[in-house]
Structure 1
């Protein structure tokens, strides 16, 4: 059973371009419509839960499909199968970038411009989904201002904690009070493991790879794009250029965007790049997978609680602000250096928004632009 699960997810891991939304569509077609492994209602529940938990949404849903199909061994097999292709590609890119740096510089510059387009599109779509009321828009605006003024991990932690506290008092969601009681409880040992590891990371050595990437993975609400600003603050010893290169590379490979950790882990320790990359990859995925394991059987009971729904809505609005701050620094500042860059980003955004070409076509276009733009006056 585990081998069958691994095989099916490995095939998808080799071909799933386009980000989390595309992955979820591919999963539905493959596992619900074609293979019939889970019912449509089960799949919808998995997606709903992934939206309210921190972590990589599509990887969490894939893990949950494996859990339903083959228990925890099936969940692990699904995760490894879906993540392995992107892990290997990102590791290879990280290990060869230094040797090919001159040849790749212009292409990477073009991919950074594509990152500006992708993040702008993500901010707009997330704002449309998570900021539908004036109070939630205020949360987003305030979060952006705070993180532009104080761009560090402590500010992010205080912001998320304060937002959750305010949401306990002021209701940000429209979930009505209900006499319904919780009919199932989380897997408490797994939940305790998640929180225990999170607390221990703050007592680790300052440059401990597992601790840095685990902290980022535990705080990523709102999708893979948000991982960039979190990693910049949890892994301060890497140059800004490394983050943008890794982010651009993550756009170009199939599989989850959290594979950015593979690239950065290899960059952290060039002498033991494979071990460091593996450690970073496991650490950044582990929090989201533990939470999915702990909660996937009682998500409906939790989501019916007004206070829980309020906290979720407020945190989602706050991470839109976090991503908005990261859009300016470092993404815009690192990628935009001329009026031609601005023109390329505007044209690329219009192309993506109105014509919706496949991601591989956009990647190819911006790679070519990266080689042409240095020759323009």
Structure 2
């Protein structure tokens, strides 16, 4: 590589870092909104990809487990400047919210957050945000009776058996049913997309992904290392989540709250706070890790929960062109998406609703916040601020009952 080429590459990487950091500081509203921000910045404004290729990349990331918006950002970075470009794009988009949530967790250390009214307000915000997500996803992912039935099956199954294995089983069953029901589904949108990644490197990434998924639980059992147990829990959560950040909530809750690693109040308070920061909701893991083991735990949790997303997007990009044209694969994905809706409704009830809506006043406040978010289109960060303030005022005037 000549000096001029090296200078151009550094300039490109700095540009990616600048743009992705700007997006990481301003992208509120969840994964769907993030994709809109990406489209405006990367496609319309800077022409880094054409619209069809961007749509293909989004489709791939929706197919994979993990944080879809983060994976799209990684993919754009890879297209622009190779693997290093993908890493730089991820750092810029993710680091602002990671730092904010680690600081929030450290500020809560030693505070009896269970009695704080503003914390209860943040828990109510979690109810509002997830309810809003359910309505949007259900409209798009369960438009017909067959997929509504799959969502109902997923809802009932995951309520009756609230384990990570039950969720994986439900997703696999719905994928199989979707494969059978929608195997002749056709899509007229075709385009070619190529990424600067070799198939050999991609296979290595997929091998590492599955090796860690199966070996980490074994290593956890034969050792007594707390950091390894944390890494395993976050890595598995990041590996098994379809549907984005809201669906990771029940996986993380069942990994850490019943085992006593942190309280349910601390868990839901952090989830509410995560709505107030821009960037991917998966950075909620940084808060959890910091609560359990300081800033080092926050960084470890962040690496662990996002590592599967990296390995999967890098491992599948070279094969996506052939895969996406297969109507049977599309049918399986339609079944998976329907299951995601049911799992999300299950998570909405337990643990979110039952731990947050305790009185008629709570329900009334929830209705007000939901109407502001749904009908008056108030930004989510404003809803968080109002929720925290309203929770504090409710506690002052009505007490903790």
1:60 aligns with 2:71: yes
Return the offset for 1:320: 1.2
> What aligned pairs does 1:27-38 form with structure 2 within 5 A after superposition?
27-38=38-49
Return the offset for 1:40: 2.3
Cα distance between partner residues in 2 of 1:104 and 1:135: 45
The question of whether the paired residues in 1 share the 8 Å contact of 2:184 and 2:328 is answered with no
Match of 2:120 among 81, 88, 109: 109
Residue 203 of structure 1 aligns to a residue whose secondary structure is: helix
Change (3 A) 1:19 1:317: same
Q: Name 2:272's counterpart in structure 1.
A: 248
Cα distance between partner residues in 1 of 2:25 and 2:144: 39
The root-mean-square deviation of aligned C-alpha atoms, in Å, is 2.4
Cα distance between partner residues in 2 of 1:101 and 1:163: 42
Q: Name 2:218's counterpart in structure 1.
A: 203
Cα distance between partner residues in 2 of 1:222 and 1:39: 25
Q: Name 2:304's counterpart in structure 1.
A: 283
Q: Name 1:171's counterpart in structure 2.
A: 181
Return the offset for 1:36: 2.4
The question of whether the paired residues in 2 share the 8 Å contact of 1:97 and 1:104 is answered with no
Q: Name 1:365's counterpart in structure 2.
A: 386
> What aligned pairs does 1:120-135 form with structure 2 within 5 A after superposition?
120-135=131-146
> What aligned pairs does 1:1-377 form with structure 2 within 5 A after superposition?
1-101=12-112, 105-168=116-179, 170-172=180-182, 174-176=184-186, 187-205=202-220, 208-235=229-256, 236-237=258-259, 238=261, 239-269=263-293, 273-377=294-398
Cα distance between partner residues in 1 of 2:255 and 2:326: 32
Return the offset for 1:98: 2.2
Segment of structure 1 superposing worse, 219-228 or 207-216: 207-216
Return the offset for 1:174: 5.0
Return the offset for 1:54: 0.9
Runs (5+) with no aligned partner, structure 1: none
Return the offset for 1:85: 0.8
Residue 109 of structure 2 aligns to a residue whose secondary structure is: coil
Return the offset for 1:100: 4.8
Cα distance between partner residues in 2 of 1:103 and 1:318: 33
Return the offset for 1:228: 0.3
Cα distance between partner residues in 2 of 1:183 and 1:285: 24
Residue 204 of structure 1 aligns to a residue whose secondary structure is: helix
- Structure 1-normalised TM-score? 0.91
Return the offset for 1:19: 1.4
Change (3 A) 1:103 1:245: closer
Change (3 A) 1:7 1:104: farther
Change (3 A) 1:176 1:255: closer
Cα distance between partner residues in 2 of 1:4 and 1:266: 31
Residue 220 of structure 2 aligns to a residue whose secondary structure is: coil
